[in-house]
Amino acid sequence: MTAMAPRRTETDLSFLLDRASYVLRTRMAAALGEIGLTARMHCVLVHALEAERTQIQLAEIGDMDKTTMVVTVDALEQAGLAERRPSSTDRRARIVAVTEHGARVAQQSQQIVDRVHEEALASLPSKEREDFVRAMELLVSGHLATPAETPRPARRARQRED
């Protein structure tokens, strides 16, 4: 007797969300790569422009570990887009300050990010697009807002950039 696979009773939501996320990340990487940025570099630039923030604060916003953050800021400094400076409020802390050139690049990268998101949603009719975005916002602020505690945690998802 051969065993049969269990019958699925629900849509494979994990596959759908993972696949959509993966393809969106590859498209974002390709689009930002055309101007020499990564998604992490874009995230740091935009959030460093919003307020005076330390590397630790920016790492938390972008859900990056310390090593990834250091590498990202090193790349931004090497490209002349940002620099580490002493904080104006805490002389022990160092902030990531965006250069004028970095601010121009952040404007350009935000247009790219917005375009990639717009293109992804454009495959849906406009009413369904609004419903989809609202449903996703409800999921991530409701039932899927808090990760489950597990002994072997899954790779963490990037936090939302408002």
User: Domain limits of the chain?
Assistant: 19-141
**What tens digit of pLDDT does each residue of 73-132 get?**
999 999 999 999 998 888 888 899 999 999 999 999 999 999 999 999 999 999 999 999
Instruction: Collect all residues with Cβ–Cβ distance below 8 Å to 15 and sequence separation of at least 6.
Output: none
Average pLDDT of the residues in 120-149: 93
Q: Average pLDDT over the chain, rounded to whole?
A: 91
Query: pLDDT-based confidence at 151, cuts 50/70/90?
Result: confident
Is it the case that residue 68 has pLDDT exceeding 70?
yes
**What tens digit of pLDDT does each residue of 37-52 get?**
999 999 999 999 999 9
Is it the case that residue 155 has pLDDT exceeding 80?
no
Instruction: Collect all residues with Cβ–Cβ distance below 8 Å to 119 and sequence separation of at least 6.
Output: 27
Closest listed residue to residue 69, CA positions, set 92, 31, 43: 43
Phi-psi region of 77 (alpha: psi -120 to 50; beta: other; left: phi over 0): alpha
Q: Tokens 């498209």 identify what position?
A: 27
- CB-CB contact of 136 with 18 (8 Å): no
**Angle subtended by helix axes 39-50 and 13-33, to nearest 10:** 80
Dihedral sign computed on CA atoms, order 159, 43, 66, 89: negative
Query: pLDDT-based confidence at 162, cuts 50/70/90?
Result: very low
Is it the case that residue 56 has pLDDT exceeding 50?
yes
Considering the entire predicted model, what is its pTM? 0.84
- HSE of 54, CA atoms in CB hemisphere, 13 A: 13
Query: pLDDT-based confidence at 2, cuts 50/70/90?
Result: confident
Dihedral sign computed on CA atoms, order 13, 16, 17, 22: positive
Q: Which residue has better confidence, 2 or 81?
A: 81
> Which residue type, as a one-letter code, is found at position 137?
E
CATH 1.10.10.10 describes domain 19-141: yes
CA end-to-end span of the chain, whole Å?
55
